Structure 1
Amino acid sequence: MIKQTAATFSHEVTAEEEGKMLHQVLKNRFRFSRRMMSRLRRSGLVTVNGEIIYFTARVSRGDQIFIRLPSEESGHIPPQEIPFAVVYEDEDIIVIDKPPGLVVHPTRGYPDGTLANGLMHYWAQRGESYKVRPVTRLDKDTSGLMAVAKHAYTHAYLAAQMAEKRYRRAYLAVVHGRMAEDQGIIDKEIGINREQQIRWVIEGDGGAPAVTRFEVVERYSRATRVRLELETGRTHQIRIHLSSIGHPIIGDEMYGTKADQHLISRQALHATYLRLFHPRLREWKEWESSLPQDMERLIAQLKKFQ
């Protein structure tokens, strides 16, 4: 089993941190979980000015704190050369522009040929190895931006950010019919249809809260291009919500119709914008992705019927 490439962090104690205990500085600066703090302490992975000290010891202004995160197994995913575009990468995170038709992680139905296999190959070419930790996920046939954390700390930090709704992600979709309203909010609970298992449906009561904001970008004679932002992240949320208001996404066989496969071979849904607060840089990072060719072709066809 290949070991994951170790992540490291450093910090110079500030005047405001003068006299505080080491564990207080670590908690306030890095927001390490209690479990991670315990692992760092037990393993002697934190040094101050090159020496291991007690976590209850007090630090001084200018002290150099160095942290080496615990090594982990990178997993059993075999590397395979898979085409995808890297939009951004550093020692903590990689942002990918995922093409349509690509599954993110191996499953029983897709044991290989996934984005995770491609990432393992991409990193192996540089002699690196990481456990694939998706922060945001996309359906197999949804294209666009998604973030993957390279180690447990970044994944936990960004997952907490997601739970606090401090991030932003936006999608573009092409839906059936001309939307009457220029913008609006779809606030409908989502639950599981127990009879069909894999199909998620709107339920009147007892489902999980789900909120989607939409804004019309362009109208065509029988379709609409719409921009969407999620306030929650339920499985298939956008697809279900749009279908529930009578505007299913073109190409969506599960929540729409199979009659439009001649227009596009998958649901016309693209993750076009992503904004996250970077755990190391302590600043907002944002990325955008233009529409893929198949959605551009779809729009060109729709405009012919104007």
Structure 2
Amino acid sequence: MDKKKFILEFIVEQDGVLLREFLHSHGISKRTLTAVKYDGGLLLVNGSEQTVRHLLKKGDTVTVQFPSEEPSVGLVPETGNLAIVYEDEAILIIDKPAAQGTIPSRDQPNGTIANFVAGKFEAEHVPSTVHVVTRLDTDTSGLVCIAKNRHIHHLLSGQMQTTGFERSYIAIAEGYIEKDTIIIEQPIGRKDGSIIERTVRQNGQYARTDVRVLSRFERNGEPYTSVSLRLHTGRTHQIRVHMQWLGHPLAGDDLYGGTRRLIGRQALHCASIGFRHPLTNEPMTFMSDLPADMVQLNPVSSQSK
């Protein structure tokens, strides 16, 4: 069976605009237009194929038929369970459990969210590869956003660059954090001698994390702090590195100074994401409840998002 084409339609609202400029004003990138031109897509004006130099008139109907995308090399489609929170023609929101990778890696080449989404797309004849918009570390649980088309991915990435895409996390840190709110603005780069670990370093990339204390509590006589965190940037291991720099590594995060006495993975959960829908511009917010291992560590945190 042929794969369904991804198609967008627009109505022109003024005379004298070049098709190229009109499409650019609707967020269609030069790279996407090149793919449409050379990889099997179509640009139609009132049902007739046109070039990007075509001069539009008010009331014209512009149709963009995007080419089918081939799955990424090395991404094997698999059948598996996905906790789907929301889905439409453009986006897919999934609630990822801890211990499952977002994309294949050397340590987890199969069974990831991307493998299962690729299998879902193949079964449903979705003409796209897997475009992960928000990636989570393997042992971080919570919401993952996936775009169903390279154009949708481009639009959502644009929102992330302009802070229009909000991501909020709940974490449990070791020790008592004294201040109720903290803004951490510390650059992050790769740690010397490691291909995995990151660290705060002055020649790193700008990174900002907002921290808000939810509760302070004790377990087995040791102090912990439940916090809500908001990301303004998306550096690798950003929250984990910033909390280590603060002197309060996450419980269970033995890579960044935490201990696994009470929980077997970093106590970090993506609890909400919010953005404007890339096609309708409608504000959308999605929530995810804390998983059982974090609730058991501090039941109060599950009630304070």
Same fold by TM-score, threshold 0.5 exceeded? yes
Counterpart in the other structure of 1:285: 284
Equivalent runs, 1:219-298 vs 2, <5 Å: 219-221=216-218, 222-260=223-261, 263-298=262-297
* SS of 2:159 mapped into structure 1: helix
Counterpart in the other structure of 1:49: 46
Counterpart AA for 2:61: Q
Deviation, structure 1 residue 277: 2.2
* SS of 1:96 mapped into structure 2: strand
Counterpart in the other structure of 2:29: 33
Counterpart in the other structure of 2:131: 133
Instruction: Quickly say closer, same or farther: Cα 1:32–1:300, change in 2 above 3 A.
Output: closer
Q: Is 1:217–2:214 an aligned residue pair?
A: yes
Instruction: Quickly say closer, same or farther: Cα 1:69–1:128, change in 2 above 3 A.
Output: closer
Deviation, structure 1 residue 8: 0.8
Instruction: Quickly say closer, same or farther: Cα 1:244–1:120, change in 2 above 3 A.
Output: same
Between Structure 1 and Structure 2, how many residues are aligned?
Answer: 295
* SS of 2:248 mapped into structure 1: coil
Query: Is 1:192–1:198's contact at 8 Å kept on the other side of the alignment?
Result: yes
Query: Is 2:215–2:227's contact at 8 Å kept on the other side of the alignment?
Result: yes
Counterpart in the other structure of 2:19: 22
* SS of 1:47 mapped into structure 2: strand
* Cα distance in 1 for residues equivalent to 2:159 and 2:43: 25
Equivalent runs, 1:1-306 vs 2, <5 Å: 5-14=4-13, 17-28=14-25, 30-41=26-37, 45-75=42-72, 76-128=74-126, 130-203=128-201, 205-221=202-218, 222-260=223-261, 263-300=262-299
* Cα distance in 1 for residues equivalent to 2:42 and 2:126: 21
Deviation, structure 1 residue 292: 1.2
* Cα distance in 1 for residues equivalent to 2:148 and 2:3: 9
Moved more, 40-49 or 192-201: 40-49
Flag structure 1 segments of 5+ consecutive residues without an equivalent.
Answer: none
Query: Is 2:9–2:63's contact at 8 Å kept on the other side of the alignment?
Result: yes
* Cα distance in 1 for residues equivalent to 2:152 and 2:49: 24
Counterpart AA for 2:226: R
Counterpart AA for 2:23: L
* Cα distance in 2 for residues equivalent to 1:192 and 1:58: 49
* Cα distance in 2 for residues equivalent to 1:3 and 1:213: 47
* SS of 1:254 mapped into structure 2: helix
TM-score normalised according to structure 1 size: 0.89
Counterpart AA for 1:59: L
Moved more, 72-81 or 269-278: 72-81
Aligned alpha-carbon RMSD (Å): 2.2
Deviation, structure 1 residue 36: 2.2
Query: Is 1:4–1:72's contact at 8 Å kept on the other side of the alignment?
Result: no
Query: Is 1:13–1:64's contact at 8 Å kept on the other side of the alignment?
Result: yes
Deviation, structure 1 residue 74: 2.1
* Cα distance in 1 for residues equivalent to 2:126 and 2:34: 27
Moved more, 128-137 or 238-247: 128-137
Q: Deviations over 1:137-168 (max 9, x none)?
A: 10000011111111111111212222222211
Instruction: Quickly say closer, same or farther: Cα 1:27–1:301, change in 2 above 3 A.
Output: closer
Instruction: Quickly say closer, same or farther: Cα 1:108–1:129, change in 2 above 3 A.
Output: farther
* Cα distance in 2 for residues equivalent to 1:19 and 1:259: 65
Could you tell me the percent identity over the aligned residues? 35
Counterpart AA for 2:47: G
* SS of 1:36 mapped into structure 2: helix
Query: Is 1:18–1:61's contact at 8 Å kept on the other side of the alignment?
Result: yes
TM-score normalised according to structure 2 size: 0.89
